[in-house]
Amino acid sequence: LCVVHNAALYEHDDALSMDADHLRRVLEVNVVAPLVLNRLARNTSPSPVGTVEHVMAVGIPQSLTEQFSLQPAAPFNGADAAPDVGSQFFLRAVAGEDQLRLRVAFALSQIFVVSQLGIPESSRTAYSDPKTAVAGHLNLLSTHAFGNFRTLLEAVTKSPAMGRYLDMVNNRAFNGAGTRIDPNENYAREMLQLFTLGIPKLNLDGTVQVDTVTGKTKLAYTEEQVQAFASALSGWTWKAAACPAKGGTIATPDYTQPMMPCNANHDERSQQLLRGVSTTEGGTAAAHLQQALDNVFNDPNVPPFISKQLIQHLVTSNPTPAYVKRVATVFKLDANGERGNLMSVVRAILEDDEARGAQPPLALRPGFGHLRSPALFITNVVRWLEPTLDLSKDPGLRLSTWSKSMGQWVPRAPSVFSYYPPNAPAPDTDGLLGPEFAILDTATVTARANFVHEFLFSSLAVNAGITVDYNLLPSDDAALVASLGRYWLHGTMAPALEQRLLSALADPDAGAVLRKKKLALYLTSLSPSFQVQR
């Protein structure tokens, strides 16, 4: 399992010996529909199998339209009496219908990071601050998942959770004595580096721009511009009845409403931002915020920077420059003339030929796909088994605990760089990226195996309120393996893996029918073909 990625790269060498017609039929019947569904929201109905058939019947564009039209699930609840937010997340991931919205919101949460670990408790509020804060942040991302990126960026910038996490709340241009001071640069820096631009200047296809004279990488912004954005964004604080006096702060957090501007604490001077654009002299905190966000939103780096990260989360860690360019072009200007339309961007990502395995054939692209993060790994295992959930036992909490043991404790990223950096390399490969591999080690690999074993063979899942009816799986060995190949591996099961499963099930020690079903599930879910989503 430590070499799961490399194993996956070479599981499909047999495809090289297929004749063209055979390969085409394999791709059409076993890959195109199931794999496309895997890219969309393969679990959008109570029956995942029914969802596969529905997608094949109505087509990919219509399936996406249906997902975009679904009503959002109930908001995450930040009240003290509510379950842990991570528990709520997994319950929604396993049982909810709006899977594509949740998947995109989860991807955005790993770009616009707010960690519950970075929100301190406060005795000043009626609710637990960390839970209320992160619940509100996830609701914000879910609300704007299919909206406009500019609107999302403004909502994040005014978010009280983000204000606390990255020090924008009570960020003043004057101290208590009324003397001018330099505002905190934390939010401004991360907004530029992590939320919008990245560090290097990018071409539309996501490749790095290099100075032809010096040979050095061109930078997307300067330190002076970070300071300028910090000043332009100064003067915001918790929502309250009135602003404090110049140099003062509001101490009582309010995580239920966007932050409010207080001009007395804002740097009203003109600031030079990106591309020679400056804010107006004597402007208000609200006006300067609009100017600053308009400026960064219209920067050429935003389309490729955001598009590539969304592709990495939704489809593959190593998109080709051409794939990035096609999506970034839609981000830049969609068919309706709108810049930053995330619904159009998500559609472009999931409908692209590269995502669907058509350019070139999936089986011939060893670098395609990505290691399933713990949250996606757990969700896929559980949801495909169509469990019955006893909400009184808080099943989501057990799933959240399992995810934590694998290195992804939702929503408690260890830093503003999320659970793993988007540019982390895949081990033992020639330049391939594998962000999720940054949290894969001996301990977390073992945790993955333990999760599957405990879920299938022990009483822990039942005790946590998760009951599976294994009668839904075929009892015949060959039919069982074929079903797992189609619905669990989306048509990517290699003949070698198929033979290993059949041999294991034919072994006299495999046991009775129920144990054989669980054994097949165990071996399949721990195979490279399942661990690496392709």
Q: What is the DSSP string of 9-66?
A: HTTTGGGGGS-HHHHHHHIIIIIIHHHHHHHHTTT-SS-HHHHHHHHHHH-HHHHHHH
Q: Take residue 130 and report the two structure tokens written for it.
A: 């960390």
> Is residue 219 within 8 Å of residue 201, measured between CB atoms?
yes
Residue 530, Cβ density class (10 Å: 0-12 exposed, 13-18 middle, ≥19 buried)? buried
Per-residue pLDDT tens for 14-43?
333 333 333 333 333 333 333 334 443 333
Using DSSP's 3-state secondary structure scheme, residue 434 falls into coil
Residue 298 CA to residue 257 CA, distance in Å, equals: 27
Q: Specify the pLDDT at position 6.
A: 35
Q: Specify the pLDDT at position 126.
A: 67
Residue 399 CA to residue 382 CA, distance in Å, equals: 9
Q: Take residue 362 and report the two structure tokens written for it.
A: 């999936």
How many of the other CB atoms lie within 10 Å of CB of 249?
15
Residue 164, Cβ density class (10 Å: 0-12 exposed, 13-18 middle, ≥19 buried)? buried
Q: Specify the pLDDT at position 35.
A: 39
Give the chain's end-to-end CA distance (angstroms, integer): 17
Per-residue pLDDT tens for 428-453?
888 899 999 999 999 999 999 999 99
**pTM for the full predicted model:** 0.90
> Is residue 105 within 8 Å of residue 82, measured between CB atoms?
no
Instruction: Identify residue 426 by its one-letter amino acid code.
Output: A
Least Cα distance to 377 among 437, 433, 448, 441 occurs for 448
Which residues make Cβ contacts (< 8 Å) with residue 31, sequence separation at least 6?
Answer: 357, 362, 363, 490, 491, 492
Pick out the chain residues at pLDDT < 50: 1-47
Q: Take residue 526 and report the two structure tokens written for it.
A: 């721990």
Least Cα distance to 203 among 328, 298, 93, 97 occurs for 328
In which residue are the tokens 């998942």 written? Answer: 145
Residue 263 CA to residue 259 CA, distance in Å, equals: 13
Residue 86 CA to residue 408 CA, distance in Å, equals: 10
Using DSSP's 3-state secondary structure scheme, residue 388 falls into strand
Supply the DSSP symbol for 75: P
> Is residue 262 within 8 Å of residue 217, measured between CB atoms?
no
Q: Specify the pLDDT at position 45.
A: 38
> Is residue 132 within 8 Å of residue 256, measured between CB atoms?
yes
Q: Take residue 286 and report the two structure tokens written for it.
A: 């609200």
> Is residue 135 within 8 Å of residue 77, measured between CB atoms?
yes
In which residue are the tokens 């009570």 written? Answer: 170
> Is residue 513 within 8 Å of residue 485, measured between CB atoms?
no
Residue 212 CA to residue 500 CA, distance in Å, equals: 54
Q: Specify the pLDDT at position 287.
A: 99
Residue 431 CA to residue 369 CA, distance in Å, equals: 15
Please provide residue 110's backbone torsions phi and psi, each rounded to the nearest 5 degrees. Answer: -95, 0
Least Cα distance to 532 among 407, 403, 402, 365 occurs for 365
